[in-house]
Structure 1
Amino acid sequence: MDCNKNEDSTPQSLSVGERIVQLFNGLRKNIWTFIVLYFIFSFSHGVQGTYTSTILATLENNFNLPSSLSSIIIIVATLGYMSSAITVSFILTSKHHVRLFAVCMLVTGFCGLLYMLTHFIFKDSSNINEIAATTDLEKPDRNYVSAVCNASRNINESSESLCTGSNNNKRDIGPNYVALGMFVISEVFHGAAGACLWTVGLSFLDDNMPSNVAPKLIGIMYSVRFLSPVISSALGSVFLSLHTSLTKTSLTPSHPKWIGAWWLGFVICFLINTIISLPTFFLPQTFENSKKLEHHTKGSEQNLDDKFSSAKTASKVYHGKNLENFGLALGRLLRNPIYMLTTLGICFDCFIIPFYNYLPKYVEVHFKLTAWMASIIAVMVPSIAGGIFSSVGGFVIGKFKPSPDFRVTKNMAFSCVISFGSVLVLTAILFLQCPNVNSPSGYSEMTKSVSLTQTCNMNCSCLSDSFDPVCGDDNMWYASPCHAGCSSYATNGSMMYSDCSCINSVQQTAGRGYCDNSCFPILILYTIGWICFCSFSNLINVPLTNVTLKSVDEEDKSLALGLQLIIICVSVFPFTLIFGHMIDWTCILWKTTSCSDAVGSCLAYDHSKFRFIMHGSVVCVRIIACVFYILSFIFARRKLSRLQLEELKNLDIMNITPHTEK
């Protein structure tokens, strides 16, 4: 009786501090606390990764990187994935999962910090917004008014004087390899930190959640990850509309020399990842309510391959013990046709990664949009639809009726149909182009290049790196007022140039910036098609993940996800590099310098080539992915038939046994 009285009086006697500690301990031991932090980390890691794609064109302009070099920034993250996938999925799977995630969060924050530091290190030495021979005595911001033809020597220096003396170091606009190296290091560690999300993390959800809850959580996981581009695009839209110096300038965001404040996004990513890592370090290795859920999961469902081998037991745990067990597990996975064919299909599906990364650049170039508007169309809008349909995919497969193979065949059939639909949508997008794409003056169809020096501007002493495009009233754009042969200008609200000898018109005038190609209807159709494609693509994320988890042994789940990630990374790595070189192949005008042979970023593209390279290559790999999915479905269907036949035999034996006993 006394004990009961003490127990009843204990909660009332607790102080406010003790109640807070009790609440903290309760949250600390609850598995849902870790799941919430896990989802936040998945989201923040995705935001930081996709933010790089949003600002990729800006990084190219800021640090003078061609696409062949910027593709390295995209792909080196896979090196981090590969280096840590096996470590976290096999060797460390029996270690402290929660502490592993805390370390990965902290590493991701460090990667954001490293990106941010490049801005402060190179902001004074980079060539951002610098136009050759640019001076304006009437405006305080003298760097943003290009030289005109036949300008007086006291305002504009000649090519020879610019390459001598103190100006020589300012005219070298080659790629900034030091900044590129810092980006590479950041991406490698960012990829390494993210490997635990898609190996140990997914396996943790599948092992500790009921069979009807795990697919939904995995679907939410994918939605959270694929909705992260929405936030990264929103951040890019806001920050790219601000100048990188956070000061007012005479340029506008639509000007090709504009450099937005790209580095601010990494400040936010650094803070979020660092903050969420702190409480994660204090979480326990096991949770009070996870054992019940795990017991519910183990008791309600049996793995597909266990149907075919009575020698396998669910209690076999070998991770991290010896290489012999690793070899046995690896052999089981490589001999599993459903797993391998599905992995190869996902591998070819992932070849779209460079397409995703370069799409904002394509939209910006092809439709002549600002960087922040291109990020909204190419990243934010379709990511919302894609994230929603990732959850839809998880809920759809949750409605499938149970089967002896745990819905593997139904998941593959669903994936085949949806994947084929995505190919049809992307093929339709391939043929959408602006009808009135303005070509630059001096462009040759035969050589597929632009000659800046022409007869009309030969005596203007134009510098090759004075890129400040203007649109003539002949509906053609020129590399600069000097290359258009303009000898005078006026600043009545906006910069207007006149007496342009290269413009074939009566007025011979030009305005600053590119010509308006009036391609809004095509842009709307392209956006709708792109949204539909992303919706189809993300609809099969959860079904394919479910096939991977349910087609392997219980103890092989983490390794299966890790091996799948490695195979994808190994194959995607060279394709991304090739993709970047193919985009450079479509360039018709490179950023060059008058003082050296250094070549920077691309200034103009062949729009038809760019369109076919971007979309045609992805259509081809998607078709190959469909073939692998169909083959995987065939093998899954055969295995399901054998399972159903075994069930019928077992039922017959059970029906015969009572009669024999009589």
Structure 2
Amino acid sequence: MAAKTELSDSRKNSNQYSTDVPSSVKKKIKCSNGLKMFMIALSFSYICKSLAGTVMKSSITHIERRFGTTSSEAGLIDGSFEMGNLMFLTLVSHFGSKSHIPRIIGTGCFIMGIGSILTCSPHFFMGYYRYDSALTVKPLENSTGIYTPCSTDLNLTGYSESSALLKSGCKNESGLPMWIYVLMGNMLRGIGETPITPLGITYIDNFAEEGHSTFYIGILHSLSMFGPLFGFLLGSLCAKLYVDIGYVDLNTITIKPTDSRWVGAWWLGFLIMGILSIAAGIPFFFIPKSLEKPTKERKISASLNIASTNESRSQRTNFKNPEQKKESKNLAGFFHSLKRILSNWMYIIYLIHSLFSFSSFIGYVTFMTKFLEQYFGQSISKLNFFIGIIIMPVISISIFLGGFISRKLKLKTLGIIKLLFISYICATAFQVLLLSFNCERRSVAGLTVTYDGNNLRTHPQNTSFPFCNSECNCDANLWDPVCGDNGITYMSPCLAGCKSSVGHGNDLVFHNCSCIEVHNFQSSTTSAHLGQCSMSDDCSRNFIYFMAVQALSSFFVGLGGPSKMVLTFKNVEPELKSLAVAIHLLILRTLGGILAPIYFGAAIDSSCLKWATNNCGGKGACRIYDSISYRNIFFSLCVGLNVPSIILLIILYMVMKKKYGKNNTGQSSNGEIDVDESNLREPLKNNKQFITSVHEDSETHI
């Protein structure tokens, strides 16, 4: 009887075991499928957010021209993303991890999409883009398509008509500038991107198998690099298309993509990004709040359940009001931890070093395409294309190579800082080398040269009306450059003294130009063509060399990327790592991401030679810069920020070498233990979102 009972119990246990195995397998498969779905959705959102950031960087010059802003105002628009992102970063990171993470990320994608659509919305309410053009001048009577830019009759000039348009446009203009809506949309996009990185990595770390979360994060980093690549290519396409494409006859457009008045279809990129971002948020609403952990981990946690239960019971008996005491303890502990971090000189030195280097990087990336356009005479569409297919792949390869070198050589703290120092020295050296690729200053009559071809030694003062065009009743504010047969660019055909014209659209040619005749008296041709005179062949070759050296500089910048991430928390105690990275992120994005584009733009504005005129007659966007001054100011700021950054890196190395010893064996000279990466492995597991956000969640790390 006992044997029969034992046999039945064994069968029962075996049946129960046989039913438990498929159940656990099903749960594991369900968990795996849910995590895979989350990874696919998160990867798509990563690509969308980096793609949107790159579209903004590649479109900032066109936004400046379309809304008639200065470079400093354009820098404020660009930095508004950081403002919105920083406002909610701490709140989302703290409270979002306790809520339904996928739904919060999906909501963030929706907000990000709405922000992108709001950014491009002013295009549909502003009317058609108007630029200064000689075609606004009235033609002669009984003639077709023949314009007389230089005329003694005010009724035959566009001066009175343009003045009336200015007055009416000023009256109809609202009190709030339209670029404010672009700023608000960019800020809203920053708010929407806030939960993607910190909460996404938290979800992966919570429900991935042990040791697999790092692999998944690596996949996200790799896929996110496609965003800047496609972003610059999309920016190149949009910059090539005219802003009002589909609404105006392109045959009537008299400017080309190389013209400083050209505005591409900047809004199209944001519209596409808005749709993609909204689509990226949909899958997150079908992902559950939590996933089942794998079977092995559940068994391990079950074996520790009794101990944890006993510990929690002892905590309940020891504290009558644990929440209140825990809150007070955390508040006091926060200020104590903050004091320990701010009194850590190695951390402070590295923080200031990072701020200098980050500000230089942000300013350079924001205004690099504008500099290349002004200095080498290339179109923004072409520049965005070259950056997308040359610079971005080089940076991606160098970041991977920097991590591979650190792992292959098993670099410790001093080795990592040496690699970072070498990368900074090489990147700065190549950046200084870029100054050797010279292009001549454009010869613009009345701005850079006199009307007889001599160089102007000082900033032009009332040099627009020499004797050759003094009777033409020209509008000095008009910027519609023409290239004379003498190789000099004139600000308008009227200021060139041209009395007749033949042709239509881009083929318009002006003849009988008195100012060209005075300078070119030995030649029988005194005509001018629309547009500025092209740069020399030597300048075109220097542009190719410039891009090659720029690729080398970008390679060394990327090579030190992994070292910068590690050194952020290398010199603090493991329990202070999260707070140290959060402070590092806050300072860099506030003083670097927001302020750097503003003061870079203000410095660049000082080199402007000719400002456009807005509807109320005020200062608009800059039409032409003194290219030499622009170059000197631009690179002086970049190198000027990099030099103290390198000096601080040397000081940090000396301090760390004194602490950790010459052999870098992990034992410092005063007996302290080196904080190696292996010591931080466990604390890092719970705070990966902060580390990744330094590199990934920043708008400017493209």
Q: TM-score, normalised by structure 2?
A: 0.76
CA displacement 1:258-278 (0-9 Å, x = unmatched):
322111111121122111212
Aligned-partner SS, 1:184: helix
Structure 2 partner of 1:624: 644
Correspondence list, 1:2-401, <5 A? 25-27=30-32, 29-30=34-35, 32-90=36-94, 92=96, 96-124=100-128, 127-131=129-133, 134=136, 148-150=149-151, 156-164=156-164, 168-170=167-169, 178-196=177-195, 224-225=223-224, 227-247=226-246, 248-250=249-251, 251=253, 252-288=256-292, 322-351=330-359, 352-378=361-387, 380-401=389-410
SS of the residue aligned with 1:178? Answer: coil
Contact 2:139 2:148 in 1 (8 A): no
* Partner in structure 2 of residue 660 of structure 1: none
Cα offsets for 1:139-183 (capped at 9, x unmatched): xxx9x99862128777x444234434x663247899995322112
Consecutive unaligned residues of structure 1, counting only runs of 5 or more, are: 13-20, 297-317, 651-662
1:467 aligns with 2:488: no
- Structure 1 counterpart of 2:358, which letter? C
Per the alignment, do residues 557 and 43 of structure 1 end up closer, same or farther by CA in structure 2, a change over 3 Å counting? farther
Moved more, 197-206 or 631-640: 197-206
**Residue 696 of structure 2 corresponds to which residue in structure 1?**
none
Change (3 A) 1:7 1:213: closer
- In structure 1, give the amino acid aligned to 2:334: F
Root-mean-square deviation (CA), in Å?
A: 4.2
After alignment, is 206-215 or 544-553 more displaced?
Answer: 206-215
Give the Cα–Cα distance (whole angstroms) in 1 for the partners of residues 630 and 551 of structure 2.
20
Q: In 2, Cα distance between the equivalents of 1:245 and 1:150?
A: 32
For structure 1, which segment, 633-642 or 205-214, has the greater mean C-alpha deviation from structure 2 after superposition?
A: 205-214
Where in structure 2 are there 5+ consecutive unaligned residues?
1-10, 301-325, 449-455, 673-702
Alignment of 1:479-494 (within 5 A): 479-491=491-503, 494=507
Say yes or no: does 1:447 pair with 2:464.
no
Which residue identity is paired with 1:414? L
Task: Go from structure 1 to structure 2 and tell me whether the alpha carbon gap of 1:294 and 1:575 turns closer, same or farther (over 3 Å shift).
Answer: farther
Note if contact 1:230-1:380 (Cα within 8 Å) is conserved in structure 2: yes
TM-aligned CA deviation for residue 422 of structure 1: 0.7
Find the residue that maps to 2:508 and give its secondary structure.
strand
- CA drift of 1:475 comes to 1.0
Q: Using the alignment, how far apart are the partners of 2:294 and 2:569 within structure 1?
A: 19
Q: Name the larger-Rg structure.
A: 2
Q: CA deviation at 1:191?
A: 3.0
User: Which residue does 1:306 correspond to in 2?
Assistant: none
Q: Is the 8 A contact 2:660 2:669 kept in 1?
A: no
Query: Which residue in the other structure is 2:676 paired with?
Result: none
Q: 1:40 to 1:187 in 2, by over 3 A?
A: same
CA distance in 1, matches of 2:570, 2:33: 31
Q: Corresponding residue for 1:581?
A: 602
CA drift of 1:98 comes to 4.0
Distance 1:200 1:543, change over 3 A: farther
CA distance in 2, matches of 1:163, 1:268: 38
Partner AA of 2:190 in structure 1? G
Residues 579-620 of structure 1, C-alpha deviation per residue, up to 9 Å, x if partnerless? 111100000111136x85411011111111100111121112
C-alpha spacing 1:82/1:634, structure 2 compared with 1 (3 Å)? farther
Pick closer, same or farther for the CA change 1:427–1:646 going to 2, 3 Å: closer
Other structure's SS at 2:493 match: coil
For residue 430 of structure 1, what is the aligned residue in structure 2? 435
Letter in 2 for 1:335: S
> Is the partner of 2:502 in helix, strand or coil?
strand
Distance in 1 of aligned mates of 2:279 and 2:612? 41
- Mapped contact 2:31–2:291 kept (Cα < 8 A): no
Residue of structure 2 equivalent to 1:412? 417
What amino acid does structure 2 have at the position aligned with 1:129?
Y
Cα-to-partner distance string for 1:422-479 (whole Å, 9 max, x where unaligned): 1111110123221x33221012534324743332222212223432211111111111
The 1:497/1:373 distance shift into structure 2, 3 A limit, reads same
Deviates more, 1:247-256 or 1:39-48: 247-256
Q: Aligned in 2, Cα 1:242/1:293: closer, same or farther, shift over 3 Å?
A: farther
